[in-house]
Structure 1
Amino acid sequence: MKKQIVKLYLISALTAFFYSCSSNENTESEIEAANSKFKVINVTNHDGRPFSTGTSTTGKYVANPGGGVMMQAFYWDVPSGGNWWNTINAKITDWSNAGIGSIWLPPVSKAQNGAFSMGYDPTDYFDFGDYNQNGSVETRFGSKTELVSLITKVHAENMQVYADIVINHNSGGQSEANPFTGTNTWTNFTGVASGKFPRTSADFYKNAYGNNDEGAFGGFPDLAHVVPNVQNWLWLRTDGVGKYYKNTMKFDGWRFDYVKGFGAWVVNAWNANVGGFSVGELWDSNVNVLNDWANNANSSVFDFACYYKMNDAFDGNNLALLNDDMMWKRNPYKAVTFVTNHDTDEISNKLLAYSYILTHEGYPTIFYRDYEEWLDKNKLNNLIWIHNNKATGTTSILYADNDEYIARRNGYNGNPGLVVYINNSTSWQERWIQTNWTNTQIKDFTGSSNWYPTTQADQWVKIQCPPKGYTVWSINN
């Protein structure tokens, strides 16, 4: 066990001392001891542009890589019955007021299981809940009219909306004789109700172009993106999937599902021809793999390296792991960070993890159930405000051991940045740290600490953090 630094159940006679902590009470020996333990690690070398782009007066934030906060506006097996678009619609204003800049929706088109499908088994990319197909008119989430109403509401609140794009595989086609397999396969999509993007066995592997690409999924027919018909209907045609979703349905960006199943060139071609923000689901903890894919795809990527490091750090009591490499450290403008999503929910100390991603670089995502059901919404709203108003500039890691982690955002263009202190131990802790502020009073913007310390002439100051908690310090203004 690490030696306990301070216990804040001190007798009342000492309370006033701690809550009036100032730089004038520092001793040379304490500062020397602190200096001997601190090794500042600068984890980014980009130009220091801000990673939040809003103002505290409007509550509206630009949604782009490294700016704003994204909400994953669904979870696995949301209630069926066609009311989910209306459910989300009713929350948009509150989310906007809280500082959410964008929402990510589940796949919006009709899939094989009709009204019961979560959309990841797509049949007709142009049936948004307006054709009687696969056993229903509406999708699990609602009608096309309700979807359009939701998108309109999102834009009215100066937010962006991202579509979940499933283009690795299809499902729900009719049986046909397949000359490439010598059997019948479920690859005839010429009868889709919308009449758009007709497909046959020639559009799926194996076919005249080869036996397979990077990967198949679940035994579903595997789209062959090298086929001209597939490219035309996905991203080239003005009435194809990408351009229709962007120009007619008014989506602002894309979350690409299971990008391990096809080459990065597919997303690159989509982005070059369609445009909009994009992020790929590349389920891999290897930073090199994530970074290479993001560069080749010209896309953001979910930071699974960060996710797994946070899980090991917060649940495994080893915050020093946060020193390790992550996608947001390689390229924060292409890193989308997250604590949980519809597929995986392993981190137990979620608020500590959110305090990490909402104060660090990258484009943080909040999971619907964490925000609306499972965690303290007020604390998340506070962290969103901190992200949008204080979390600017490059990052310097100031201290990390098993229980404690301290990092500094160095500010940008007049914004002072912040210092975040995360404590995974069971007692209050204190640390001397070096800020970028000289002779300046600071405070904890989470409200967990009542200290108002003043930094010294050499920018050093003592800060504190509650057990299993976090504090975020910046200039008191």
Structure 2
Amino acid sequence: MNFFAELKNLFLSPFKFKSYPSAFPRMRLGPDDNLDNALMMQFFTWDTKHSEMSWWKHFEAEIPMLAKMGVTQVWLPPPNKASQKEGRGYDAYDLWDLGEFHQKGTVGTRWGTREELLLACSFAKQHGVDILIDAVLNHKLGADEVETFLAVPCNPNNRLKEEGHAREIQGWTKFNYTARAGKYSDFRWNQDHFTGLDWDHKTRTHGIYRITGPGHKGWSKHVDSELGNYDYLLGIDIDFRHPDVREDMLNWGPWVLETTGASGFRLDAIKHTDQRFLLEFLKTARSRTDMPRMFSVAEYWSGDLKRILPWIRAFEGETAFFDVPLHMNFYQASRKRARYDLRTIFNDTIVKIKPNDAVTFVDNHELIITTHQVEGQTLESWVDIHFKIQAYALILLRPGGHPCVFYGDLYPNTECYHEATARNLKLLAEARKLWAYGLCKDYFLEPNCIGFVRTGDARHQGCVVLVSNRTDVRSSDNFVHSLRMNVGPENAGSAYRSYMTQGGRVEVDKDGWGIFTCFPEAVQVWVREADDQVV
């Protein structure tokens, strides 16, 4: 099906609308009594550790500030026991161990103990901040014992193509969980519960091996078609068709939500995970916890909107999706700088086509790991500081989508921190909380400077925003962009002040028009002078 036929199915068919509702209208984006804009935050980077306390204690200490900034949801790192003492949790060993049992050389996880996690989650709830659990369901690592079984090597570039006959290999596939001793779950994993792995311990050989033999059904057919079949990602790949696997996983979802008091999930690596199982997982967690408005967002890493749209439909509004195509537009804009036409920044993005299914973001933890292999290539699409604040302004101050702020852009860290970015990001978050409401009128008139007006609502006055990527001017030229925009007759005769920098003032005429300015390669937000007292 071509792209235009895809859009026709999405927008012109009433049946499609009825069958595939959007995610956000049925989801909780923050506490019900919150009347301000919702905002998600990813509270970790890849290498983050606190020098004086556990990560969960650090999070607990920051909760009052996050709530004041307008954060209504926090996406935490995977809380489960990892295969290594310092593992981030994406190397999932035991989902049922939240830092309670002495496994893999430690009681606590990289992030802290179970008790610290639960205290932080409870404190967040008291401050009106929801918790999202990072669910790593696709694979396991760190098995306790080796097993011998039959497997066939597959072409790494086409997993449907076998490279030889089935042979006897040894794989780390047996998980005993002796220290946990059956608490919470008595399920023990073995080779029957997996589809493939990447290491033959018998010959000490790396490869992609599909497990064969009685009971094995091959790769799942309900995964992405990249590389022929993208069921296998890393570690020991889980077979969600096995009834015991399904039972354990479907029990874990409600358990972890009820244990932590979390309001939903971030789903890791869904293009590799059986689509039908994930849909059942979400529906089961929603029903068993009596959380009809449970939140979920899925990571399907692709900059190609055409590949993502069928997945959005398949999940029937049970999960939102990170807007990777928008992130890739931000990345291209940061590379091309003034050569990028800002009027096209939302082209071919989820937020433009399906705004109520898009979690918008600028960067995340994976994008700063230039040596971390994901899906066969490094994720080297970090948005440069020359365009970072412009990108944040476009997701934080416009309607459509649900924005996610990245810890690495806000807090000092050794991976990606930039002081000016952090300072301006705090200002934009405050502007979102105070003024970014109402209808949006776009003034996308110039390739290097675009503007928009938020009209406000019954509780908020609205604002004017300009975004520039122009670089071909010198500071001695004193050049500023000027856009004539209408703020509505209700603001006729008023004056607006500049918010990102001090000293700017715009007089609005009797018909609501004003000439608003912005420095090159910068963002400017304008608010009514009458709103000074709320800042």
Q: Same fold (TM over 0.5)?
A: yes
Report the 3-state secondary structure (helix = DSSP H, G, I; strand = E; otherwise coil) of the residue aligned with 1:74: coil
**2:19 equivalent in structure 1:** none
1:416 positional shift: 4.9
User: Considering only aligned residues, what root-mean-square deviation do their CA atoms show, in Å?
Assistant: 2.9
1:76 positional shift: 0.7
**1:389 equivalent in structure 2:** 434
| Stretch deviating more after TM superposition (323-332 or 407-416) | 407-416
Cα separation, 2, equivalents of 1:209 and 1:436: 65
Q: How does 1:34-45 map to 2 (within 5 A)?
A: none
Number of matched pairs: 418
When residues 455 and 209 of structure 1 are mapped into structure 2, their CA distance, relative to the original with a 3 A threshold, is farther
1:217 positional shift: 4.8
Cα separation, 2, equivalents of 1:445 and 1:227: 60
| Cα deviation 1:116-165 (Å, max 9, x = unaligned) | 10111111111111111111111111111111111111111110011111
Consecutive unaligned residues of structure 1, counting only runs of 5 or more, are 1-45
Q: How does 1:210-221 map to 2 (within 5 A)?
A: 210-213=217-220, 214=223, 215-221=230-236
Counterpart check, 1:311 vs 2:331: yes
When residues 282 and 400 of structure 1 are mapped into structure 2, their CA distance, relative to the original with a 3 A threshold, is farther
1:61 positional shift: 4.5
Q: How does 1:253-292 map to 2 (within 5 A)?
A: 253-275=264-286, 276-292=294-310
Contact 1:176 1:185 in 2 (8 A): yes
Cα separation, 1, equivalents of 2:454 and 2:232: 41
| Cα deviation 1:285-318 (Å, max 9, x = unaligned) | 1223333323322211111111111122243121
**1:370 equivalent in structure 2:** 409
Counterpart check, 1:227 vs 2:246: no
When residues 88 and 54 of structure 1 are mapped into structure 2, their CA distance, relative to the original with a 3 A threshold, is closer
**2:107 equivalent in structure 1:** 137
1:413 positional shift: 5.6
| Stretch deviating more after TM superposition (389-398 or 132-141) | 389-398
| Cα deviation 1:184-235 (Å, max 9, x = unaligned) | 3222124454332422222111463521123245541111122221221112
Q: 1:247 aligns with which of 255, 258, 264?
A: 258
Report the 3-state secondary structure (helix = DSSP H, G, I; strand = E; otherwise coil) of the residue aligned with 2:411: helix
Counterpart check, 1:321 vs 2:344: yes
Report the 3-state secondary structure (helix = DSSP H, G, I; strand = E; otherwise coil) of the residue aligned with 2:366: coil
Counterpart check, 1:295 vs 2:295: no
Cα separation, 2, equivalents of 1:267 and 1:249: 21
Cα separation, 2, equivalents of 1:332 and 1:304: 13
Cα separation, 2, equivalents of 1:121 and 1:220: 8
Letter aligned with residue 192 of structure 2: A
**2:10 equivalent in structure 1:** none
Normalised to the residue count of structure 2, the TM-score between the two structures is 0.72
Q: 1:428 aligns with which of 462, 469, 480?
A: 480
1:411 positional shift: 4.5
| Stretch deviating more after TM superposition (192-201 or 357-366) | 192-201
When residues 52 and 350 of structure 1 are mapped into structure 2, their CA distance, relative to the original with a 3 A threshold, is farther
Say which structure, 1 or 2, has more relative contact order (CA 8 Å, 6+ apart). 1
| Stretch deviating more after TM superposition (217-226 or 330-339) | 217-226
When residues 192 and 443 of structure 1 are mapped into structure 2, their CA distance, relative to the original with a 3 A threshold, is farther
Normalised to the residue count of structure 1, the TM-score between the two structures is 0.80
Counterpart check, 1:199 vs 2:189: yes
| Stretch deviating more after TM superposition (85-94 or 432-441) | 432-441
When residues 334 and 460 of structure 1 are mapped into structure 2, their CA distance, relative to the original with a 3 A threshold, is same
Cα separation, 1, equivalents of 2:441 and 2:238: 44
Cα separation, 2, equivalents of 1:62 and 1:221: 45
Letter aligned with residue 392 of structure 2: Y
Q: 2:397 aligns with which of 345, 356, 359?
A: 359
Report the 3-state secondary structure (helix = DSSP H, G, I; strand = E; otherwise coil) of the residue aligned with 1:131: coil
| Stretch deviating more after TM superposition (392-401 or 331-340) | 392-401
| Stretch deviating more after TM superposition (443-452 or 162-171) | 443-452
Letter aligned with residue 251 of structure 1: A
Contact 1:62 1:159 in 2 (8 A): no
